[in-house]
Structure 1
């Protein structure tokens, strides 16, 4: 039985998209609803820069149709500033900040690490061991939120559901069989990241799902994907989906390529699926 495929964009609030991807005159508060009418999944990246509020997550849930899925970018305070040191409280804050308001639309968490962070086996194993594998354990951890979060938390996790996590690395020290084995032990996906050659492109399958980020084929965050590149990624996704769910997000947003490339990739993957039937 084949897995599900979710292809979308990283973020949705971009000024250059207005009047291009978004219809002229569309109110800003309607942009998510419009994007969700065109694509089945979006990666929330505001959560990377700062903790969002429960009412925001609830509004995003309400603005999107049934079956829609959000991926959620983990807060950079853990990955870039603390560099995984003393993260128990901050991780609890992330989980308490309102993510449960996404309910059944909550997809994988993305944890992105900067190029300066190298593979530290002890620190990474501790981090992976903390990541909750279901919403019940996530709620238990969320209850340990720090006092500064008081008054802006949401702790009702709803029915028990699985939770998934993916790690995006940008340092060659992670090209280590020990790291791959560690990810597999914890069922955490290693992000397949196309970064126009700037950082490592790894295709090791380490979890029961695959997570792809397409930052630009030739120019980071800017260049679009030509037909041959779209066909190549569609073939990869078609192969991976035979046994796993696949999540794929375009982050080449500067020149408004991302939403259109996502639509083209969806069409290419659908065409391969139709041929296989």
Structure 2
């Protein structure tokens, strides 16, 4: 099923992975900020956060509702789906795990629910038949909320037009990963763009050099402009993680955006 469509007012979401990281308490958060106030602060400096905790644990509906209430209007959360859905030999058998995650209360995020990220292990190779069976299990909505699915595949066998076409057929989007370890897979016709920038360097204040961030900014403008404007999600996610907030804020600055 092809659900691709342009949006009249494309959203640009730029952020980091999570909001709890000890080094950020000396270079991002104000000195003495209570740990319980970190999401409140981060969500007013950035426009999105990718949640990694949902990959490892099951959260209660009240937790998602709390995240919604603590963040400003327009803020977005991308959620990593629980690993029990993706870390398995036969993906076609993931139906129960997919349902358990989708119905765990994520709808409490309401209009702040961004794409769900289905992350696969680096050793998981592309098997078209089994992978298509998995994609067919992904629901298109929960409690009236449209769901968007991003596929974070890490084995080089996925770098093929067959995978890209299959993802598009089911309305899913390949994650574009800027990394030395994983393939960078893009679909120029996708419904939205999802980028994970993982080459941050500790010796660079913003992780990526400002001129490199300028290139990413131009790419964002390309996605959100033209005849087919689309939403873009960009996360500074790994590699010199202590620099991730500064990188995200620099990209927002170069795009002329404020949280």
> Normalization by structure 1: what TM-score?
0.83
Match of 2:152 in 1: 168
Shift of 1:161: 3.0
Match of 1:216 in 2: 199
The answer to whether residue 79 in structure 2 is matched with residue 75 in structure 1 is: no
The superposition leaves residues 36-61 of structure 1 with CA deviations (integer Å, 9 ceiling, x where unpaired) of: 01111111110011111212111111
**Matched residue SS, 2:168:** helix
CA distance in 1, matches of 2:217, 2:38: 27
The superposition leaves residues 146-194 of structure 1 with CA deviations (integer Å, 9 ceiling, x where unpaired) of: xxxxxxxxxxx3xx23210000111111112111111111111111111
* Aligned 8 A contact 1:19 1:25 in 2: no
Report 1:155-234 matches (<5 A): 157=143, 160-195=144-179, 197-217=180-200, 224-234=207-217
Q: Which runs of 5+ in 1 are unaligned?
A: 136-156, 272-277
* Aligned 8 A contact 1:211 1:246 in 2: yes
Report 1:98-177 matches (<5 A): 98-135=105-142, 157=143, 160-177=144-161
Match of 1:269 in 2: 255
Q: Which runs of 5+ in 2 are unaligned?
A: 1-7
The superposition leaves residues 212-252 of structure 1 with CA deviations (integer Å, 9 ceiling, x where unpaired) of: 11112468xx9910012101111111101122110111113
CA distance in 2, matches of 1:79, 1:63: 30
CA distance in 1, matches of 2:206, 2:159: 26
CA distance in 1, matches of 2:129, 2:24: 43
**Matched residue SS, 1:18:** helix
Please say which of residues 233-242 and 83-92 is displaced more in the overlay: 83-92
Shift of 1:253: 6.4
* Aligned 8 A contact 1:230 1:265 in 2: yes
**Matched residue SS, 1:19:** helix
* Aligned 8 A contact 1:3 1:245 in 2: yes
Note closer, same or farther for the CA distance 1:86–1:246 as it changes in structure 2 (3 Å cut).
same
**Matched residue SS, 1:58:** helix
Note closer, same or farther for the CA distance 1:162–1:65 as it changes in structure 2 (3 Å cut).
same
CA distance in 1, matches of 2:164, 2:29: 40
Please say which of residues 26-35 and 246-255 is displaced more in the overlay: 246-255
Shift of 1:66: 1.3
Q: Which has the higher helix share?
A: 1
Note closer, same or farther for the CA distance 1:116–1:16 as it changes in structure 2 (3 Å cut).
same
Task: Name the count of aligned residue pairs.
Answer: 245
> Normalization by structure 2: what TM-score?
0.88
Shift of 1:20: 2.0
